[in-house]
Structure 1
Amino acid sequence: MYRKAPKPPIDEVVSWRQSLKKLQESKTGQLAFREFLRTEYSEENILFWLACEEYKTITTSNEIAIAAKRIYAEFVHVDAPRQINIDCGTRQEITNSMSQPTLSCFDKAQRLIYKLMKKDCYPRFLKSEIYQGLLEPSEAR
């Protein structure tokens, strides 16, 4: 949880206002955003996005197949424990690709989730107590 980590420099926290991308480039930013999403019961969004980022770095076909099945089972399948909110067409495309998954099989869903976070969750995060608390001077904590 981000609260246990040292407070990031104020200029880093302020830089997160520039864009969701800037926020996600920071490990501390990711943790703070994840904590915020947890409070909104939508933590699966950032977890799926991060899983996809890691998935794209896999180099062997055997590892691709194993990781794809794990991501599918955790986030995409209709009964997934952390099911992401994507349209049924995108879900079906991913389901169809599971017999021979590629590094790009989650790209469309990842873009949809990123867009959802950017338009919906990110603006609320910037107004949240979690973010505002990180903007306060250290002495105030």
Structure 2
Amino acid sequence: MNQHHFKFTTLAFALTTIWTLYGFFEYFTEDQGLFHGLGVLMYFIGSMAVSLFVSIVLIFMRLVFCRSERKHLITDHFLYITVGIFNCYFFIIWLICLFLKDLILDTEISLFALGNLSVSIFIFFDVYYNKRIQREVTIVG
């Protein structure tokens, strides 16, 4: 793992912190009405959907570039790593909301959450585990 990955991961964690703070302050500045908190839920669902869509597009681009000379163009990119961290982050937030019984399991959000989990696992495996395998092959070979 090189210095770019550490820098990209740090920036991705900073972006998730900014996203969380925005959602936190949006919730506490809403009016105490009948649908208090619905805006934050829609913000969360929309963020999950956008993150899932962008990651699927990036994974498709990664699979298209897999056989070409530029196959590491996507895996070494800031957006690819950031989307992987965001997808993992959204799944963790969804899981915490399930344990706190803020959300129920039978909703359509579950499909987004499971999609976020599978995409983040694929991205992390693609970025970090594949590089380790390639490094071991070059050391042995």
So what's the TM-score if we normalise by structure 2? Answer: 0.29
So what's the TM-score if we normalise by structure 1? Answer: 0.29
